[in-house]
Amino acid sequence: MKTLTLSAPAKLNLFLHINGRREDGYHELETLFTFLDFGDELAFTLTSNQQEIVICGDTAGIPLEDNLIYKAAKILEPYKKIADGVDIHLNKQLPMGGGVGGGSSDAATTLLALNTLWQCQLTIPELAKLGLQLGADVPVFVEGKTAVAHGVGEQLEPIDIAQKWYLVVAPPVHVSTALVFTHPDLPRNTPKLKNGWKLSDTGNDCQTLVKKLYPEVEKTLAWLLKYAPTKMTGTGACCFAEFENREAALRVLETLPSSWQGFIAQNTSESICHRQLRAWQN
């Protein structure tokens, strides 16, 4: 049967500002998402069993009902125009819960792939709206363009930024996003961006709190800062340092403490998943 293999790229939040808290508990924020040319890989194979959605590979014992790949497939199932089921194989490369969007990216890639294979014929905005039911970051990956997100993350403003090399480091700790966003010490009053804003004037409003709650993140940031400009992405725990070329990033990666994971990647203006899907369709 037909197989489609696509990447689910990592993302970085180059800044994250929290502007306030709404009555429903959600936070108003502004953040710059960019995609990397590194990520998980998913292979989608159509099967003759029309009711079956099978997930295999590096699923790390996640119950099916909690698996975002499975949820994405189920949410798209009512729209399919053919009877086939699907086998989905995940090759996991990104750290789980690290702030690089692994689960959200996997879900978005699933929506994009099955929209094609199942001939659902949904538009990107329609897929993004479905993706929002799976998580606030999923629409960003569905849209697939470097963008500033506003509101609760659903208002996307595409933006062009310079291409850089990044060393992304995952310390051996899992940060609870819920703990961070409900913590009384989290800043929630950063003014909204003004016209003509510069990336150099931005920061991550979660970083100081996460450093206090998770000393391993503080240690990671301090270590990377010896070599290059450094920030935490999202609510962590992953941190990244920015380099002008691959060789400089590689030299630092080679000295990485053994208890940390790390990878090198470039940012891309368009998600590699979208490029691969377009090439497959042509």
Residues designated as active site: 11, 137
The residue among 280, 282, 272, 4 whose CA lies nearest residue 141 is: 272
The residue among 231, 191, 227 whose CA lies nearest residue 208 is: 231
**66 SS3 class:** helix
Residue 128 sits at φ, ψ, to 5 deg, of -60, -40
CA 160 from centroid of its chain's CA atoms: 18
232 contacts 204 by C-beta, under 8 angstroms:
yes
84 contacts 48 by C-beta, under 8 angstroms:
yes
Could you please report the per-residue DSSP string of 123-159? -HHHHHHHHHTT-TTHHHHHHTB-EEEETTTTEEEE-
- Measure the CA–CA gap between 101 and 94, rounded to whole angstroms: 8
User: For 22-114, where are the E strands, in sequence order?
Assistant: 27-47, 53-57, 85-91
